[in-house]
Amino acid sequence: MKTSDLFQETFLAIIANKVRSGLTILGIVIGIGSVIAMVSIGQGSAKSITDRVESLGTNLLTIMPGSQRGQMVRGGMGSATTLTLEDAEALKTISTVKTVAPTVSSRKQITIKGSNTNTSIYGIDANYFSVKSITLELGIAFSEVQYKSKNKVAIIGPTTRDTLFGENTDPVGQKIRIDGQEYTVIGVSESKGGTGMGSSDDLIYIPLGTAQQYITGSDKLSNISVEVLAADLMDSTEEAISALLLQRHNIASADSADFSIMNQADMLSAMTDMTSTLTLLLGSIAGISLIVGGIGIMNMMLTTVTERTREIGLRKAIGAKRGDISLQFLSEAVTLTFISGIIGILLGWLLSYLVSHFGGITTTISPQSVILAFGVSGAIGIIFGYYPARRAAKLNPIDALRYE
Amino acid sequence: MIECKNVSKIYQTTSVETPALKGVSFQIKDGEFVAIMGPSGSGKSTLMHILGALDTPTEGEYFLDGKNVASLSDDELADIRKNKIGFIFQSFNLLPRATVIRNVILPLVYANVVKEEREKKARQALADAGLEETQFDHLSNQLSGGQMQRVAIARALVNDPSLILADEPTGNLDTKTGDIVMGTFQKLNKEQKRTIIIITHEHDVAEYADRIIFIRDGALVEDRENEHKRLGARTK
């Protein structure tokens, strides 16, 4: 039996049972489609989280104040005020530290004529933008003079700009009121994507001195961002900073430190772990439906074998060998899964497109997930088709012909 | 040429041995038209399965064109069926959702006949079996019983087998159609010199043949020339 004959037989057999073939294909299509869509959602969110963390700056250590451990009441992270500008200055003496950017932050009500919002105010110094890899969309950064003389000038995030002034407007030169005091907008930062907590799009930057004097009213810092020279120096630098600050704060043991150091790389790997678990979870849920679809194929093929017992007997009587029969049924199963695979990939692609378009979730279809889904569908065809095919091939032609 | 030497077949279930054939011996020469007769349960179906290489005997030897079929494997038997034997079944056993021509082409597919040859051979076989050309592209389940039997005959003929085996070929047909079908067999036997063996339990049907072999309880009881040969209706 030639390959072209095999295809013809397969085609005729599938066409002969349109409804049943269609339903079987539907089962696999849903399985493969959901695997691709689920994995694309998982990988998309993994990518967006990674991108966001990376956009916040690489080689970055963030030192946050915290109350000393061992005391009766422990405040929330960042709520304590144990870091000072002198601490930040001292950190510059560590050789592996590239730049130090002390910040203070606070949430305030912002008002302009006819609009208002509530957002974070960041008091920053000249190093901040380079440490956090922030660039400006409009206007210019704070000047040396503005830092020194604690001018009331502000650079606002794009989301804040959109909220206050309307989308894509140029607010440079406009006045905003923070906590009742008037500031002049001199720039808008470039969007870095992302929403919610940690977004660098919805906030207002002002010079550090200005913030300390007019917003928080103290010389304490909210956190210190430290850029390290190279990624492999992160751990040693973290230890050096910890030792230095413990010494400056007169604390004997690292266990009772009144600050904590957050390592960007650690955060990234924690996030990555989380999202890959998510991807795995979504993928395995979808995988279950793929297996159910596979059992559907097996069920259909077994029904077909039973239903076509006489036909198998006849084919054997007119000269079909075992190999011919098993190849025919295997080919039917594989063809069904192959068709399902193609439709399933299209469906998965469509689903993930719809999810990203209407659901606002980033999705990424990786070639691996397509290959995986296709490979799995092929394997399902072969595995779940093999048993019915073998059963058909082993039928005794006499018994098969007598079968009612 | 067909030769059975002391052919026995015993069906073995877990505890009981049921002998279906008990040492049957006979010869059939090329070009003969033979009817194998016997009541149901006589072992004639078992004999047909062995003659048709669908089954092998438990004991004894069966030579088809000089080759001992008794000891062949499954796939070797399939080769014999493919190259030397044409089957016509009582219930026709056509593929219901395939066209007439497709049904006849099927044995050629398994025999690896090149595509261009298939259609030509199939049309010739259908014409030989006496089917109208207008029906070649009909689905086989749209045909009448007589037409189905003709398709089955054509399918049996298409591979140019040395032996045509028919199991109760008129069993599902009315007398008139049966007569036409038997006439076709006689024509094929006479004009194309094909060896034809029909299995039947009806005297009327057996009398179309040149020679009748009687089987009872698994043993050959009579083997004689048919003196009062009936002639079937001639087509064309």
CB contact under 8 A, A319 and B83: yes
Most confident of A128-132, A238-242, B230-234: A238-242
Could you say which of A313, A319, A397 has the minimum Cβ distance to residue B82? A319
Q: Does B103 touch chain A (CB under 8 A)?
A: no
Q: Categorize the per-residue pLDDT at A196 as very low, low, confident or very high, splitting at 50, 70 and 90.
A: very low
Lowest average pLDDT, out of A158-167, A194-203, A258-267, B75-84, goes to A194-203
Q: Contact, A301 vs A328, CB < 8 A? A: no
CB contact under 8 A, B75 and A322: yes
Q: Does A317 touch chain B (CB under 8 A)?
A: yes
- Coil vs helix vs strand at A225: strand
Q: Categorize the per-residue pLDDT at A78 as very low, low, confident or very high, splitting at 50, 70 and 90.
A: very low
Distance CA(B213)–CA(A38), nearest Å, equals 72
Residue pLDDT, tens place only, B9-33 = 998 888 888 888 999 999 999 999 9
ipTM attached to this prediction = 0.87
Q: Does A19 touch chain B (CB under 8 A)?
A: no
Q: Which residue of B has its CA nearest to A2?
A: B112
Query: What per-residue confidence (pLDDT) applies to B56?
Result: 87
Q: Count the helix, strand and coil residues of chain A and give each as a percent rounded to the nearest 5.
A: 55, 20, 25
User: Average pLDDT of chain B?
Assistant: 88
Q: Does A314 touch chain B (CB under 8 A)?
A: yes
Name which of A161, A151, A167, A172 is nearest A204 in CA terms: A161
- Asked if pLDDT for residue A1 goes beyond 90, the answer is no
Q: Does B109 touch chain A (CB under 8 A)?
A: yes
By the 10 Å C-beta count (0-12 exposed, 13-18 middle, 19+ buried), A220 is classed as middle
Could you say which of B49, B107, B115 has the minimum Cβ distance to residue A319? B107
Q: Categorize the per-residue pLDDT at A83 as very low, low, confident or very high, splitting at 50, 70 and 90.
A: confident
Q: Contact, A39 vs A282, CB < 8 A? A: yes
| Residue A231: partners with Cβ closer than 8 Å, 6 or more residues away | A58, A59, A265
Q: Does B112 touch chain A (CB under 8 A)?
A: yes
- Coil vs helix vs strand at A118: strand
Which tokens in the block code for residue B60?
């004894």
CB contact under 8 A, B106 and A315: yes
- Asked if pLDDT for residue A72 goes beyond 70, the answer is no
Q: Which residue of A has its CA nearest to B109?
A: A1
Phi, psi of B99 (to 5 degrees): -75, 165
| Strands lying side by side in the sheet with B211-216 | B85-88, B163-167, B195-200, B33-37, B211-216, B219-225
Query: What per-residue confidence (pLDDT) applies to B233?
Result: 73
Q: Contact, B87 vs B165, CB < 8 A? A: yes
- Report DSSP state, residue B15: S
Q: Does B73 touch chain A (CB under 8 A)?
A: no
Q: Does A399 touch chain B (CB under 8 A)?
A: no
| Residue A403: partners with Cβ closer than 8 Å, 6 or more residues away | A309, A310, A313
- Asked if pLDDT for residue A206 goes beyond 90, the answer is yes
Q: Categorize the per-residue pLDDT at A62 as very low, low, confident or very high, splitting at 50, 70 and 90.
A: confident
Q: Categorize the per-residue pLDDT at A193 as very low, low, confident or very high, splitting at 50, 70 and 90.
A: low
Could you say which of B49, B78, B97 has the minimum Cβ distance to residue A320? B78
For residue B93, which residues of chain A lie inside 8 Å, CB to CB? Answer: 310, 313-314, 317, 401
Name which of B163, B52, B188, B161 is nearest B107 in CA terms: B161
- What is the tally of helices (H) and strands (E) in chain B? 7, 10
Per DSSP, the residues of A64-93 read: EE-PPTTSS--PPTTTS--EEHHHHHHHTT
Per DSSP, the residues of A342-390 read: HHHHHHHHHHHHHHHHHS-------HHHHHHHHHHHHHHHHHHHHHHHH
Q: Categorize the per-residue pLDDT at A343 as very low, low, confident or very high, splitting at 50, 70 and 90.
A: very high
Q: How far is B230 from chain A (nearest CA, A)?
A: 30
Low-confidence residues of chain B: pLDDT under 70 = 234-236
Q: Contact, B7 vs B60, CB < 8 A? A: yes
For residue B82, which residues of chain A lie inside 8 Å, CB to CB? Answer: 318-320
Amino acid at residue number B174: D
Q: Does A397 touch chain B (CB under 8 A)?
A: yes
Name which of B201, B183, B189, B133 is nearest B157 in CA terms: B189
Query: What per-residue confidence (pLDDT) applies to A17?
Result: 83
Residue pLDDT, tens place only, A254-273 = 777 888 888 877 777 887 88
Q: Categorize the per-residue pLDDT at A350 as very low, low, confident or very high, splitting at 50, 70 and 90.
A: very high
Which tokens in the block code for residue A175?
């006045």
Could you say which of A9, A321, A398 has the minimum Cβ distance to residue B55? A398
Q: How far is B112 from chain A (nearest CA, A)?
A: 6
Query: What per-residue confidence (pLDDT) applies to B18?
Result: 86
Distance CA(A255)–CA(A262), nearest Å, equals 15
| Strands lying side by side in the sheet with B67-68 | B17-28, B2-12, B59-64, B67-68
